[in-house]
Structure 1
Amino acid sequence: MFRKLLKGIIAVACLIGFLYVNNNWLSVTNHTVESSEIPSSFDGYRIVQISDLQDATFGENQQRLVNKIKQARPNMIVITGDLIDSNRYDLPNSLALIEEIVELTDVYYVTGNHEVATNDVEHIKEELTTRGVRVLSNETVNITRDGMSISLTGIEDPLNGATASQMIDSSNVPNDAFSILLAHRPEDFQSYIDAGMDITFSGHAHGGQFRIPFVGGLVAPGQGYFPKYTAGIHEGGSSKLIVSRGLGNSIIPIRLFNLPEIVVVTLKSSSIK
């Protein structure tokens, strides 16, 4: 009887430990994007993407997450939406992260569906802007380095009422620069291809929530079961889609075989001999 009880206690402890690791162990995924269109001054330029924090907490004042980002030595940090969760809205918890990372480098942000769903999206943008984040609302900025430039466009989440194509069209994307897009939803990849974006950073899918080894994600909003775009790099023509598995949870409170993820993308200019 005692042995059965002990085995049961060990099994429960192992399960709790397994679930804790799956939902709290921060992973870093590195990608390199090479193109002759990348200006030589941006060779080696590092972009750190964080997405779908959903009010999750990684240490006091998000220090574990901050340390991981700092270790990546970013030249730019991009946040691709759902910094908060509309079901347990706790903006100060997420702003604790912002206050730390704006000290590292330039930070750019676009909304996700959860910001829109709070009906408090303008307040969220104001709080981020006040802390030094550049909020991109269907607009394009030039990022300049040693006299050379790339373009960075950010669009709102479609829950605001416009399609991805409409928002990109209104964003004044230049035709003569290497173009990066921040867009929360990966399922609109065809729109990003049609717009001629070189790289798009997205999130939203939470890695498929439960990942099946050697298969991929199980379910994602906007894509249903066994979704196509949940993680990694996808290609369409000359366009690349980089999907973050995200950091937190929302309606489904558990991630399985799907560690919270920070994405680091290093640009490589193939024009350099």
Structure 2
Amino acid sequence: MTTFDDLVAHIDQAGIDADPLRDISKLKSDITHDEALAVQLAVKRRRVAAGDRIIGHQASFTSSGIRKLFPDAPRPMIGTLLASIACTDGDEIKLDCDAAFIESEMALLLGRDLEGPNLTPTDVLAAMDGVLPAIEVAPLRPGVLEGHYSWPHLIAVQKAAGGYVVLGSRVTSVHRIDPRLEACLVGIDGEARAAAAGFEAMGSPLKVISAMAAGLHRIGEKLHAGQILLTGSLAPPQRITPDNNFAHLEFATLGTVCVRLR
């Protein structure tokens, strides 16, 4: 019989996010999305015990653009962010894959704990300390676009390795913007590629955070004060290769964030 600890040990292996033959569903065919999230969090806690630190969470598959690529994906898919994948504005990163996606995101800073299945946007807004621009560099692993992995496996390996979150340096009060209307422009190597507004994130980034809190609540967890919460790519993810040199994200009010690629 496969135990929870067996599942955690299985996911906490190098290369597990790039090998469909090691899909978690092969160990437990009836694993649920919530169980997979619990496995993901347990793996991250192993890495905390080894010296890393949990800094927040990120939602994926929230916008219409990304859902055109993955129409049956969980919405949102929750990932746990570690300090080891966080970068600052202007940092240089190295891709460990042939292709990746640049995702344009809002990062909200949590001022107090949020817990529960039915939080309103007003509840979320009251708990926020500020918001800043963010880029996620998400590796494109073999077989993902082709649907070779189960959704529980993709949940369990969220933010496991190879990706980065790049945070802007300026924090803006959430009371200075309407998160639904805040617009952004994505550029690769100086060329404008895509634009969007906060509405793309499930109608409002605040709704995304409410959904993240509900998902964590189902496994006995909550969002903690001081965490950084990313609400999913607003513009359609932009594909990059090792030939690209930098990506740039500009918001109407929040300012800019840039990452250099090598």
TM-score normalised by the shorter chain: which range applies?
Answer: under 0.3
User: TM-score w.r.t. structure 1 length?
Assistant: 0.23
What is the TM-score with the length of structure 2 in the denominator? 0.24
